[in-house]
Amino acid sequence: PAFVNYAVYHAGLPTPRIAIGDNLLQKPFVSDLMRLNKSFIVHRSITGRKEKMAAYQLLSAYINHSIRNDCQSIWIAQAEGRAKD
């Protein structure tokens, strides 16, 4: 997605906000770098049922606000792991 964002940006088009898993944030600077790229965090490592529900509700509200209020596109990977194709 970052390379697609790069190409889209250079074409003069608005770039999407990218959902990234919290597993990608093992180094502190990565979080800052991802936010510069209009990325937002999907907290996949949360284990508690209530905590997971609260995190997903917050994520859902953010995505809803991004689309409806900010008119932003969202890029969401469908499953964990790296793309094979």
Q: Would you state the pLDDT for residue 80?
A: 58
Q: Would you state the pLDDT for residue 81?
A: 57
Residue 85 in this model has a pLDDT that exceeds 70 = no
pLDDT: which is higher, 26 or 72: 72
Q: Would you state the pLDDT for residue 72?
A: 94
What are the domain boundaries of the chain? 2-75
Backbone region of residue 81 per phi and psi (left: phi > 0; alpha: psi in -120 to 50; beta: other values)? left
Q: Would you state the pLDDT for residue 71?
A: 95
pLDDT: which is higher, 19 or 1: 19
DSSP letter at 41?
E
Find tokens 């600077």 and name the residue: 29
pLDDT interval class at 22 (50, 70, 90): confident
Contacts of 67 (CB under 8 A, 6+ apart): 73, 74
